[in-house]
A and B are shown apart, each in its own frame.
Chain A
Amino acid sequence: MARESASVALNERLSPYQKLYLLLIAGFILGPFIPLIIQSFAFKWAWPDLLPGTWWLEQREKSVLPLAWDYVISPYSQVWEATLNTVFIGCVVTLIALVICLPAARVLARENFRGKPAFEFFLSMPLIVPEAAIGIALLMIFINIGLAGTYIGIIIVHLIPTIPYMIRMLTAVYQGLGRDFEEQAMILGASRWQILRMVTLPMLLPGVVAGALFTFLVSTNIFLLTFFMGQGKIVTLPTLLFSKISGGTLDASAAGITLVVTMPGIILLLITERFIKEEAFGKGFGN
């Protein structure tokens, strides 16, 4: 209810120029999906036809092999396997990154120590150094110690580009938090564990959720490092997509897979969007 009235109010507030501007932005974001969706249902779609000359459903009965969405949902496309792998790796990476980054961010936000700026710079190195350079060097090491082509190997390399993001986000949250609330709880006689559980974590939660969401999304989008470490044996959505579309043309099954690849991010965003908005921006800190 509240949302609807807000959107009506918004509609009245905006000038036609602003509406056009919003429409353009929506067009740029959603526009590319339209030909993708059409292509995924096409059998033959050739220039200059505005719509496919032959649709997949017309050919479905005649074809000996699964076409378009039939291929995408069949085990041959490896979509299901890739989705499971992507989600599994993303979750584990997010958890490990949280465990590493929460204490680190606390120290970085609150303490001062010698070489802190250098250390912070060092932490953002993975964002500066090209992935290919890290990937090739790590691959040589991982082959030697037998981690290449394993889930552990992929999870380790995924931590490299995700930790800098996670640390930055959590440090910012810790800085905004201040020590006062924890000290107050301590004065009122709370134990360390109670403070962590009932004061620190709830107040950190919006930042943690945002950081976890971001880490998960980065992890599910890493192509090159996954490709190097997975050695083609472990298929994730980005590596699957790359091997499908590297040909340069988009056939129906490639379009279908592309649409599937966008799903985890969108679903996750829908789940967390509400949560983050209400927690971080709705309530705000200290309310």
Chain B
Amino acid sequence: MRKTLLSLSVIGSLMAGVAIAQDADAFRDGFIAGDISWEDVQARAKEEGQVNLYYWGGSDKINIWMDSVAVPALAAEGVTLNPVRITGTKDAVDLVLAEKGSGKGLGEGSVDAIWVNGENFATLKRQDALMGAFADKLPNSANIEWNPEDPRALLNLRDFGVETNASEMPWSGQQYVCAVNTTRVPADQVPGTFAELMNYLEANPGKFTYVKPPHFIGNTFVQATVYALNPEGNSAVPFQSSIDELGAAELARLITPGMEYLKALEPHLLGAGGNARYPEDPKALDGLFLNGEIDFSCQFGLYGVATGLRDGTYPEGAEQFIFPEGNMIKNKNYLVIPGNAPNPAAAMVMANYMASVDSQATKLEIAGMPPGIDPWKLSADDAAKLDAASPGLVGVTQADLDANTAPDTNATLVDVIEATWLEYIERDSSESIASIVETAVANLN
């Protein structure tokens, strides 16, 4: 008797699960096909009642904005936002994949949305763990350029060279900018190229370092180096192809000068003479820069210097500068809805709010996070509102930055370049770059 009851209840819960999944699947398909109106999405979102957003919680500023602005704004729409602070985005991605692995479908998982960069998006896409093409169908997606004929739309259509297919919503647009401590470095010695950086470090050993790959801030520095020293002279162009299109041998040829430069640079980095020291993440890099242990600090952060001066994490005299000329990588980071989101409608209401001018302007003002929506799509009033909220650039102009922009590297190459750096620089391998790249490519598959 007890056994039958037990099996009945198991079957019952399984069937309930199936029903939830079917219902959520039908909702998703209907929305993507355009059969479900936004009012219906909002009504369903109210029924779902809550949304779990997983994001990197290491910044007090973002946490304050999330709790004091985003949560009340969504409460007004009848949705409780649960901001879940995590240390590494990969943890949330792993959670989604673990739940997918145990058979949890749409409506059954625990993660509604994740703040991701291209690498994690590529992982989710490769594992087929995305909800689908929602981002260009939200009301506020009018604030974002989706037209593929406009070259500026590339930042929204491709993330680390991987097509986004509107399955993630642009949240913030960033550029890799370096800061210099002007109280320590005379203006005429601020480098603009990698050769000038080498000259500076030969005269001032140990006064620079970069974040250690595989952290994406470190990977981006390596990519900028590889772009700038590309033997073809066409910087980022060949790095937009995938590894299958490019081939291991060609990639090795293209990155060899950059890798050799980084190897030659190593003895001049922080800890010069002994072991070079690479910080593990941008916060540690900020610490070194604040303490004057290094004279330059490179990371994603258009408004990093302005907000850093405001909250005491940057030294007085810190200014941004153009480095490396023509190769300052620009990209966007996104909010993605995974394929097993428990509250898909509420997740879309949340994503829609995040793409609104109000949320983008307050986020810019409080947290210093650059807007992810595109100003030319906005009314003059809204664009002015966004401008007014900006903490401002320090020592450079927007025109300077725009003139030196480079796109991100294709996600399939990111892994190979990262593996090559780890092998060639960190482990000091005696193998040739060509054979390291070949092994890395082989390991990828």
Contact = CB atoms under 8 A, between A and B. Distances in A.
Contacts of A242: 87
Interface string B62-83: 0110011000000000000010
Contacts of A76: 60, 63-64, 67-68
Contact of A46 (B282, B291, B310): B291
A75 B312 contact: no
A128 interface: no
Interface in A36-82: 42-44, 46-47, 54, 59, 63-67, 71, 74-78
Interface stretch (B98-106, B244-252, B347-355, B408-416): B98-106
Given A76-B67, A148-B110, A143 B283 contact: no
B85 A243 contact: yes
A232 B312 CA distance: 29
Interface in B271-306: 279-284, 286-287, 290-293
A65 B280 contact: no
A232 B287 contact: no
Nearest to B55: A232
Contacts of B381: none
Given A71-B60, A76-B64, A247 B312 contact: no
- Interface magnitude class on chain B: 35 or more
B52 A233 contact: yes
Nearest to A62: B310
A16 interface: no
A149 interface: yes
Contacts of B68: 76
A104 interface: no
Interface string A210-233: 000000000000000000000111
Contact of A233 (B102, B110, B286): B110
A270 B54 CA distance: 38
Contacts of B91: 232
B58 A65 contact: no
B67 A246 contact: no
A59 B312 contact: yes
A46 to B, nearest CB: 5
Contact of B290 (A46, A74, A247): A46
Contact of A251 (B63, B82, B313): B313
Nearest to B59: A247
B315 interface: yes
B431 interface: no
Nearest to A44: B312
A243 B63 CA distance: 12
B104 A67 contact: no
Contacts of B52: 233
Contact of A143 (B67, B87, B104): B104
Contacts of A251: 60, 313
Given A140-B101, A246-B58, A249-B286, 14 more contacts: A43-B312, A46-B291, A47-B292, A59-B312, A65-B311, A71-B64, A76-B64, A148-B110, A231-B110, A242-B87, A246-B281, A247-B58, A248-B280, A251-B60
Interface of A: 42-44, 46-47, 54, 59, 63-67, 71, 74-78, 139-140, 143-144, 148-149, 231-233, 235, 242-244, 246-249, 251, 253
17 contacts: A46-B290, A46-B292, A47-B293, A59-B312, A63-B310, A65-B64, A71-B64, A76-B63, A140-B98, A140-B101, A143-B98, A231-B84, A231-B95, A233-B52, A233-B82, A233-B110, A251-B313
Q: Top 6 nearest A-B pairs by Cβ distance?
A: A247-B283, A248-B284, A249-B287, A47-B291, A44-B312, A43-B312
